[in-house]
Amino acid sequence: MPTLVETIVSKHKESPVRAGDEIEELPVDRLLINDVAAVQLVERYREIEDLLPAPFDPSSVFVVLDHVVPPCDSVIADNLQRTKQFARTLHLNLFKEGEGIEHVLLPENNLVSPGDILLGTDSHTCTNGALGCFAFGIGITDALFVLFTGTFYNFVVPETVLLTCSGKLQKGVYAKDLILYVLSHLDQQKMLNKVLQFSGPVFASMPLDGMLTVCNMTTEISAKTGIMPYETREDLSAEFAERYTFDVTPLEPVVAVPHSPLNGKPVAELTVEITKAFLGSCTNSRLSDLQVAASILRGKKVKDTVDLYIVPGSRKIYEKIQESGILSTFIQAGAVILPPNCAACFGRHMGVLGPSDVCISSANRNFVGRMGSKDAKVYLGSPATVAASALTGMITDPREVLP
């Protein structure tokens, strides 16, 4: 029996396929282009535009300005303007500065459906696998080809690894803790270019926000993508490259220590003072993430030795926290609220780290220099862990301060 990805690809090719099959032209439903990749893509387009047809389906192409917005210098400002002009000329869907982060916007606006094939110029395109679609990152040249043909060239159907999670997450333990734990127990070499298919009762009861967090981080172990059987049926008798089972009931909050997202450790093992706390990114900037943080920060103050930056994932989320009073909670706690964008996670502006900074972040990467200085140290945790740590000035188990 086929895996989820084999099923999706077979339907698109209108013939059965299996892992290892080579497909000259893979039909694509959706294409995502962000501001970082758009600059070079536009330049290459200009070189050959007279030879190109119209885009395969402008309504299925999304151009999102999110990585370095608002622009931090005149070069970036010019790049953003050129990108907007490109999108408007070709009648592509354009999300301007401040609308939100690409991997938050697509699920939020119901722009991806189960069974779709979505490609994007960003490694975290895998986030959308939580919706039951086959979503993965591609390069700029590939994206240009997809834009005008609607197909991905020379594709090899990947093998799938089945990750079954049984049990139930306890209070104070979240999807971010689960994926950090799972990644710390897998062999990166065995996951290379594989699809990680998540299954089990814990996901049946997990809100979509949590499922998006889990799939978001599959790229950190060099997997092709992550996927879940969202509104679709999975066949557990399919031929998987590997099978792993995890009981999440005894799981405690997990933090990934420098300098890899794969270095997950129980928060109880850490005694680390911090100077920065970052709550945002395409991993954990959704409404439920901010609600959890607000429940911890309400009526309290951020430690005076800590700077807490909070970045809502989209304009709609920003509006909801304003309407609900959560924004006021953050402001009164002493947090700095930034407009929807990738911010410090991308390491270019809005909260970048200095050489002496130690940061607890809800993002997906803590590589050397990822968020600024190469001498800074970045720890990864759930939004609850970030909020709790901002209060105490130490990496803190959120269960100690949860109401």
Residues 35 and 80 in one domain: yes
Last residue of a domain, one of 127, 156, 185: 156
With a cut of 70, which residues of the chain have pLDDT below it? none
Q: Do residue 190 and residue 318 come from a single domain?
A: no
Q: Is residue 6 part of a domain?
A: no
Q: Do 176 and 283 have their domain in common?
A: no
- Residue 12 located in a structural domain: no
Q: Is residue 92 part of a domain?
A: yes
**pLDDT value of residue 219:** 98
Question: What span, in angstroms and rounded, lies between the C-alpha atoms of 7 and 45?
Answer: 34
88 and 141, same domain (yes or no)? yes
Q: Answer whether 268's CB lies under 8 Å from 251's CB.
A: no
Give pLDDT tens digits for 48-57: 988 889 999 9
Query: Is 365 inside any structural domain?
Result: yes
Is the Cα dihedral 376, 382, 384, 385 positive or negative?
Answer: negative
**pLDDT score for 235:** 82
Q: Which range marks the domain in which residue 116 is found?
A: 22-156
Q: What is the pLDDT of residue 268?
A: 93
| Statement to judge: residues 210 and 308 lie in one domain | no
What CATH number should be reported for the domain holding residue 135? Answer: 3.30.499.10
Q: What CATH number has the domain bearing residue 164?
A: 3.40.1060.10
314 lies in some domain? yes
Tell me, yes or no, whether 93 and 178 share the same domain.
no
Residues 169 and 268 in one domain: no
Q: Of the candidates 251, 276, 301, which is a domain's last residue?
A: 251
Q: Looking at residue 178, what is its pLDDT?
A: 98
In a domain? residue 11: no
**214/321 same-domain check:** no
The C-alpha angle with vertex 350 and arms to 346 and 356, in degrees rounded to 5, equals 85
* 5 within a domain of the structure (yes/no): no
Per the structure, how many domains does the chain have?
3
Within a domain: residue 1?
A: no
Domain boundary among 210, 227, 251: 251
Based on the fold, state whether residues 64 and 88 are members of the same structural domain: yes
164 and 151, same structural domain?
no
Same domain, yes or no: 268 and 308: yes
What is the reported pLDDT for 145?
A: 96
- Same domain as 382, residue 295: yes
Cβ-Cβ contacts under 8 Å for 96 (sequence gap 6 or more): 65, 84
